[in-house]
């Protein structure tokens, strides 16, 4: 492989190449930066690029590797591998906008724990990727910095809210990227962009430094081109963090993947509620076919039921906005970020927040404020929490019978920019298969399972029991050993 | 008409932990530290930060809950209280709402008319806000200091069980001394570490129905609290006397004008939109933890007072004064252990030593005397080596320069004259030198005995042992009568 197409390598391939000394981290990083340079005007995956920092980190990684040759010291496991970070994760010294005007000039003085762990593992930061403002959206059209486009069809959205990261990985700008997933924001764009993405168990990866949207649903996720790539980075960022009281102090397995595609003894459930009238026929066909493939690899497949699935959407759109209404109260123009000069305190709040937030963010703040208001709390937020418990119980009961659940990620493939612009409800429906997983707090891994007639990727997702990400890597990896959907690249 | 006051107090006490409630910033004296020097991304409410509960703060809160006989919840929840204000960095305060740390306690206080039990409704943990300073140097501005933002705050809410200013005062001072005794709060009112809110209503005496209550916010001293409540009781009585109705509202207190003023009416009341804090798991206090805290509880002033009364036969008021502060109590008990007679030691400590502290303005911790040197003096007094006057003079010197009693006495020849021969000679001389008075005495003016006593004592420069002197004088006068 020549130095100018190193960006085509998967993370595992790039790591092997670096370890063999086939090329340097600087060469790999330059190839990625050149790829970004060539495509960014069309794709617009990034809000902020950090080429100088990236080259500096790459040079340092190369120096460490060179030194280790002499000293024999152990190397950080992901030394010299580039990564992009969704712009809702705080990066020390690198502005973090959350796709919002209100944080246009906000430069955090600290790294998110997950980002810090990736850097500690030797990764090289390419830049901050685009997303729906404060991760509220399913298309990356709600970014104050303009939409990201789907590398498979530039007229279409990459999904959202982590659309920039998904597009960057799909377009071979970076072998891996961070995302965040509150209601599907990693899995849906992974599906739309034909790549792999993981949303971990709630409490498995620290949320410290992830700018909060819906705190009880938010999770830090990852994109890469394969389950194996995901597992390599995931093992580095997962685990207890004393700065996040909701992380659990459980050991993180090594996620070693088997050499052979053998799923004997693995029980997979297929929830009937996830195949609904009105979903794109090709999506159902691809997912069903993939499930047959898993069966062919030895998995026992059976139909299961998650009876409260239909309530996930209304429950999510009460809980997430309610939490968001409090989480976004801190953007008041007083300590950091946008501040609209005003005569009075109230005026300062109104003008700053009026000018700083986009319409979808305002909509959800209003929704959430209403749901928490005196006299409405019990009927809305309180009731939603009770139903959430039922949805969680659905998953707990299911995982007493099966090791994993297989189902589609979204009812359809990527839609066109502007298609849902005037219809927030239609946009919300994009997440109907992803929201329940966040409400249940269980992990989910999305990966490509085919293409529709228009050549757009179709994704499917595997769900696991709490803290059982390992089974997801194992199944997806077995599938990717016998299929090649995940290796296909968009023609750009 | 005569009215009965119905008063409840909310006490906000900062906890003396090393670090803040949800981050590792130091807790600093917010009245003296340079602004915004104890601030980190967490307590500044930066995007992406998360709170982590300070276990020390929980333990301090548990101490208070136990001291107030509360039922401690095995599981309590933090909640977000939402409102906008520049001193509140996150736009919400992390507090406890539906499920507080502890509930249903009681505090027994002493009043002139006897013991009163004030029920405690709840005790919960929360974080303090920052501080705003309004300046006007040509252009009016408000400055925000976040040093105090996130300092652990304990809210102690009483039931409306108080019916007089005296009860309110007894409750508040007793609570303050408990917080100090537990080592969880300095009690330093000037630094704002204890703040009050009062809810006040009145009703016709004998009525079982509660009147409309008002809430008075931001009372930062005992004086402000008492004045505000007194003002409010009068104001409400005047309204009812006119046949009008008290409005339910939240009031502020103007110290300079000496009156309450309306902050907001019932209709304008804030909707804080409380909901459980998703960033913090439920706070679990298991039996082990609670037992450990209970085992480490220091003795409380009231229990100590009772013990002093039982063990040392002290009067209630003396026992209370000695027991109130751990330091004083420890000094007293050490002195008794070193051999001081308990009641005599109590008298001298509460009389001479307290008077000296008042006069000098020095705190107890600055005393130059030790329990053993103090006990030494008390022993000399009891055994008659010195009399009361001498003891007081010696104690004053001890307090001034820290020398031992024996040293001062030896240096100044202040030892009491207990030698019976010396006293016998002195009595004989005084009787000899005053024949006219002896004559009057023998003719029935027996009160002259006291005059002779004074004369002998003067001749002995005040150092004669009074018991021996009295005995000897009686003996010689008796001899003359025969
Ligand atoms: Zn702090």
Q: How far is the CA of B48 from the centre of ligand 1 (A)?
A: 14
For residue B460, which phi and psi values (nearest 5 degrees)?
Answer: -90, 10
Inter-chain CB pairs, A–B, below 8 Å: 102
Cα dihedral B432/B435/B440/B442 (nearest 10): 50
* Span B89-121, pLDDT tens digits: 999 999 999 999 999 999 999 888 888 999 999
Q: Which residue has the higher pLDDT, B196 or B114?
A: B196
d(CA A415, CA A188): 12
d(CA B374, CA B361): 20
- Exposure class string for A97-120: b at 16+ Cβ within 10 A, else e: bbbbbbbeebebebbbbbbbbbbe
Q: How far is the CA of B151 from the centre of ligand 1 (A)?
A: 9
Q: A324: nearest CA in chain B? A: B278
CB of A191 closer than 8 Å to CB of A459: yes
Mean pLDDT of A178-192: 98
Test A246 with B280 for CB contact under 8 angstroms.
yes
- The residues in B 310-339 lying below 8 A from A, measured between CB atoms, are none
Q: How far is the CA of A207 from the centre of ligand 1 (A)?
A: 18
Write the Ramachandran bin of B245: left for phi over 0, alpha for psi from -120 to 50, otherwise beta: beta
d(CA A144, CA A131): 9
Of A100, A332, A367, which to mutate for an interface test with B (greatest number of B Cβ within 10 Å)? A332
* Span A356-391, pLDDT tens digits: 999 999 999 999 999 999 889 999 999 999 999 999
DSSP state, residue B113? T
Q: How far is CA B232 from CA A153, A181, B206, B251, in A?
A: 72, 54, 20, 10
* Span A314-360, pLDDT tens digits: 999 999 999 999 999 999 999 999 999 888 889 999 999 999 999 99
Predicted confidence band of residue A3 (pLDDT cuts 50, 70, 90): low
Residue B387 scores a pLDDT above 80: no
Single out the catalytic residue among A10, A24, A25, A86: A86
For residue B199, which phi and psi values (nearest 5 degrees)?
Answer: -110, 130
Which chain B positions have a beta carbon within 8 Å of A378's beta carbon?
A: none
B48 reaches A (C-beta below 8 A): yes
Q: What is the C-alpha end-to-end distance of chain A, expressed in Å?
A: 19
* Span B44-70, pLDDT tens digits: 999 999 999 999 999 999 999 999 999
The alpha carbon of residue A2 is apart from the nearest alpha carbon of chain B, in Å, by: 41
Q: What is the pLDDT of residue B416?
A: 67
Which chain B positions have a beta carbon within 8 Å of A210's beta carbon?
A: 48
Q: Report the run of H or E that residue A270 belongs to, with start and end.
A: strand A267-271
d(CA A489, CA A170): 7
CB of A90 closer than 8 Å to CB of A96: yes
A37 reaches B (C-beta below 8 A): no
The label of the residue with tokens 């960057």 reads A168
Q: How far is the CA of B148 from the centre of ligand 1 (A)?
A: 10
Q: What is the DSSP string of B382-432?
A: HTTSS-HHHHHHHHHHHHHH---HHHHHHHHT---B--HHHHHHHHHHHHH
Predicted confidence band of residue B386 (pLDDT cuts 50, 70, 90): confident
Query: What residues are paired with A271 via a beta bridge?
Result: A304
Q: What is the pLDDT of residue B413?
A: 64
Q: How far is the CA of A337 from the centre of ligand 1 (A)?
A: 19
Test B48 with A369 for CB contact under 8 angstroms.
no
Residue B46: which of A108, A332, A349 has the nearest Cβ?
A108
d(CA A18, CA A28): 9
B275 reaches A (C-beta below 8 A): yes
A374 reaches B (C-beta below 8 A): yes
Query: What residues are paired with A446 via a beta bridge?
Result: A197, A461
d(CA A222, CA A196): 8
Q: What is the pLDDT of residue B3?
A: 93
For residue B72, which phi and psi values (nearest 5 degrees)?
Answer: -85, 130
Q: What is the pLDDT of residue B415?
A: 65
Residue A421 scores a pLDDT above 90: no
B84 reaches A (C-beta below 8 A): yes
Provide the percentage of residues in chain B whose pLDDT is more than 90: 57
Neighbours of B303 (CB within 10 A): 14
d(CA B332, CA B354): 12
Neighbours of A5 (CB within 10 A): 12
Residue A329: which of B46, B84, B86 has the nearest Cβ?
B84
A396 reaches B (C-beta below 8 A): no
Q: How far is the CA of B21 from the centre of ligand 1 (A)?
A: 9
Test B275 with A336 for CB contact under 8 angstroms.
no
The alpha carbon of residue A382 is apart from the nearest alpha carbon of chain B, in Å, by: 9
Residue B33 scores a pLDDT above 70: yes
d(CA A63, CA A61): 5
d(CA B186, CA B19): 15
Any idea which architecture B420-481 has in CATH?
Orthogonal Bundle (1.10)
d(CA B346, CA A487): 89
In this prediction the ipTM stands at 0.96
Provide the percentage of residues in chain B whose pLDDT is more than 70: 98
The label of the residue with tokens 């939109």 reads B273
Q: How far is CA B262 from CA A130, B214, B237, B257, in A?
A: 49, 10, 17, 14
Of A107, A112, A249, A327, which to mutate for an interface test with B (greatest number of B Cβ within 10 Å)? A327
CB of A122 closer than 8 Å to CB of A80: yes
Based on the residue annotation, tell me whether A161 is a catalytic residue of this protein: yes
Test B48 with A89 for CB contact under 8 angstroms.
yes
Q: What is the pLDDT of residue B326?
A: 83
Domain positions in chain B are 3-292, 299-412, 420-481
Q: What is the pLDDT of residue A1?
A: 61
Give the helix, strand, coil percentages of chain A, each rounded to 5. Answer: 45, 15, 40
Domains of chain A and CATH, by start: 3-313+381-487 (3.90.1300.10)
d(CA B392, CA B398): 10
* Span A75-110, pLDDT tens digits: 999 999 999 999 999 999 999 999 999 999 999 999
The label of the residue with tokens 């100018």 reads A4
d(CA B322, CA B349): 8
Of A104, A330, A341, which to mutate for an interface test with B (greatest number of B Cβ within 10 Å)? A330
DSSP state, residue A252? P
Test A326 with B86 for CB contact under 8 angstroms.
no
Structure tokens at B265: 């009416």
Range name among A205-209, A395-399, B125-129, B139-143 with the lowest pLDDT average? B139-143
Test B48 with A90 for CB contact under 8 angstroms.
yes
Which chain B positions have a beta carbon within 8 Å of A106's beta carbon?
A: 47
Q: Report the run of H or E that residue A178 belongs to, with start and end.
A: strand A176-180
* Span A205-217, pLDDT tens digits: 999 999 999 999 9
* Span A22-67, pLDDT tens digits: 999 999 999 999 999 999 999 999 999 999 999 999 999 999 999 9
The mean pLDDT of chain A is 96
Residue of B404, B360, B11, B391 whose CA lies nearest to B179: B11
Q: How far is the CA of B241 from the centre of ligand 1 (A)?
A: 52
Please report, for chain A, how many H helices and E strands are present, in that order. 15, 11
d(CA A447, CA A479): 10
Which chain A positions have a beta carbon within 8 Å of B57's beta carbon?
A: none
Based on the residue annotation, tell me whether A185 is a catalytic residue of this protein: yes
Q: How many residues does chain A have?
A: 492
Structure tokens at B92: 């919400």
Q: How far is the CA of B149 from the centre of ligand 1 (A)?
A: 8
CB of A443 closer than 8 Å to CB of A221: no
Structure tokens at B220: 């930062």
Residue B45: which of A108, A243, A335 has the nearest Cβ?
A335
* Span B141-170, pLDDT tens digits: 889 999 999 999 999 999 999 999 999 999
d(CA B127, CA B78): 11
Test B41 with A335 for CB contact under 8 angstroms.
no
Which chain A positions have a beta carbon within 8 Å of B266's beta carbon?
A: none
For B153, the 3-state DSSP assignment is strand
């Amino acid at each position: 492989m020549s130095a100018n197409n190193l960006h085509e390598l998967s993370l595992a391939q790039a790591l092997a190449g670096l370890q063999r000394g086939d090329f340097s981290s600087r060469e790999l990083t330059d190839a990625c930066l050149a790829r970004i340079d060539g495509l960014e005007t069309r794709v617009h995956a990034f809000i902020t690029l950090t080429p100088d920092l990236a080259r500096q980190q790459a040079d340092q990684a190369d120096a460490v590797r060179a030194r280790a040759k002499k000293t024999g010291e152990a190397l950080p496991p992901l030394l010299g591998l580039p990564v992009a970070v969704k712009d809702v994760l705080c990066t020390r010294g690198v502005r973090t906008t959350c796709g919002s005007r209100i944080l246009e000039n906000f430069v955090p003085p600290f790294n998110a724990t997950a980002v810090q762990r990736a850097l500690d593992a030797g990764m090289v930061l390419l830049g901050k990727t685009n997303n729906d403002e404060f991760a509220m959206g399913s298309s990356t059209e709600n970014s104050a910095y303009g939409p990201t486009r789907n590398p498979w069809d530039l007229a279409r959205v990459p999904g959202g809210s982590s659309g920039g990261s998904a597009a960057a990985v799909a377009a071979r700008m970076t072998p891996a990227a961070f995302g965040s997933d509150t209601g599907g924001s990693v899995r849906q764009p992974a599906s739309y962009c034909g790549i792999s993405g993981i949303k971990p168990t709630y409490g498995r990866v620290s949320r410290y430094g992830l700018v909060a949207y819906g705190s009880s649903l938010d999770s830090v996720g990852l994109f890469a081109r394969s389950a194996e790539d995901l597992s390599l980075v995931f093992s580095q960022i997962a685990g207890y963090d004393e700065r996040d009281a909701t992380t659990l102090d459980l050991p993180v397995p090594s996620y070693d993947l088997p050499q052979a595609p053998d799923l004997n003894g693995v029980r997979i459930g297929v929830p009937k509620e996830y195949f609904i009238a009105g979903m794109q026929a090709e999506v159902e066909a691809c997912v069903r076919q993939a499930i047959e493939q898993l069966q062919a690899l030895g998995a026992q497949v059976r139909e299961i039921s998650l009876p409260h699935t239909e309530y996930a959407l209304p429950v999510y759109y009460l809980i997430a906005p309610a939490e968001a209404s409090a989480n976004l109260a801190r953007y008041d123009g007083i300590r950091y970020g946008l501040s609209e000069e005003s005569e009075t305190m109230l005026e300062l709040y109104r003008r700053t927040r009026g000018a700083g937030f986009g319409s979808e963010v305002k909509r959800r703040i209003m929704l959430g404020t209403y749901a928490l208001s005196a006299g409405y709390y019990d009927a809305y937020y309180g009731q939603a929490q009770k139903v959430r418990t039922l949805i969680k119980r659905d998953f707990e009961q299911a995982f007493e019978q099966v090791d994993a659940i297989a189902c589609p990620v979204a009812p359809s493939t990527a839609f066109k920019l502007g298609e849902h612009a005037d219809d927030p409800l239609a946009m919300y429906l994009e997440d109907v298969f992803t929201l329940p997983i966040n409400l249940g707090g269980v992990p989910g891994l999305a990966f490509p399972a085919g293409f529709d007639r228009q050549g757009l990727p179709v994704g499917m997702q595997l769900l696991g029991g709490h803290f059982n990400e390992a089974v997801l890597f194992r199944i997806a990896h077995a599938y990717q050993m016998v299929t090649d959907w995940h290796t296909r690249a968009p023609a750009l | 008409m005569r009215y009965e006051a119905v008063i409840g107090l909310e006490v906000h006490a900062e906890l003396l932990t090393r670090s803040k409630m949800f981050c590792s910033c130091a807790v600093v004296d917010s009245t003296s530290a340079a602004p915004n020097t104890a601030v980190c991304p967490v307590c500044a409410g930066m995007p992406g930060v998360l709170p982590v509960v300070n276990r020390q703060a929980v333990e301090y809160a548990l101490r208070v809950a136990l001291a107030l006989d509360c039922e401690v919840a095995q599981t309590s929840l933090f909640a977000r209280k939402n409102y906008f204000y520049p001193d509140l960095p996150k736009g919400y305060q992390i507090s406890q709402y539906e499920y507080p740390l502890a509930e249903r306690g009681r505090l027994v206080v002493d009043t002139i008319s006897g013991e009163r039990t004030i029920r405690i409704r709840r005790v919960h943990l929360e974080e303090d806000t920052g501080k705003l300073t309004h300046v006007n140097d040509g252009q009016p501005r408000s400055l925000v200091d976040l040093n105090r933002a996130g300092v652990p705050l304990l809210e102690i809410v009483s039931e409306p069980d108080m019916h007089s200013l005296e009860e309110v005062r007894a409750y508040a001072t007793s609570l303050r001394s408990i917080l100090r005794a537990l080592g969880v709060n300095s009690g330093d009112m000037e630094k704002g570490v204890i703040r009050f809110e009062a809810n006040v209503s009145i009703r016709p005496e004998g009525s079982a129905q509660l009147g409309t209550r008002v809430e008075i916010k931001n009372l930062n001293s005992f004086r402000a609290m008492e004045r505000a409540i007194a003002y409010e009781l009068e104001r409400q009585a005047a309204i009812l006397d006119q046949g009008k109705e008290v409005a339910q509202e939240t009031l502020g207190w103007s110290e300079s004008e000496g009156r309450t003023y309306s902050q907001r009416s019932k209709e304008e009341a804030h909707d804080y939109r409380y909901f459980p804090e998703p960033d913090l798991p439920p706070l679990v206090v298991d039996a082990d933890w609670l037992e450990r805290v209970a085992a480490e509880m220091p003795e409380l002033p009231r229990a100590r007072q009772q013990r002093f009364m039982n063990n040392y036969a002290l009067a209630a008021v003396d026992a209370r004064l000695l027991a109130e502060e751990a330091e004083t109590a420890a000094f007293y008990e050490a002195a008794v252990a070193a051999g001081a007679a308990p009641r005599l030691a109590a008298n001298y400590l509460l009389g001479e030593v307290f008077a000296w502290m008042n006069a000098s303005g020095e705190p107890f911790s600055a005393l130059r005397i030790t329990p053993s040197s103090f006990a030494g003096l008390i022993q000399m007094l009891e055994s008659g080596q010195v009399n009361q006057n001498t003891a007081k003079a010696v104690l004053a010197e001890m307090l001034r320069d820290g020398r031992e009693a024996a040293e001062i006495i030896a240096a100044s020849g202040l030892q009491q004259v207990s030698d019976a021969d010396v006293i016998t000679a002195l009595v004989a001389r005084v009787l000899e030198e005053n024949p006219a008075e002896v004559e009057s005495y023998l003719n029935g003016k027996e009160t002259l005995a006291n005059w002779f006593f004074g004369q002998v004592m003067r001749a002995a420069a005040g150092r004669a042992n009074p018991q021996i002197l009295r005995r000897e004088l009686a003996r010689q006068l008796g001899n003359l009568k025969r």
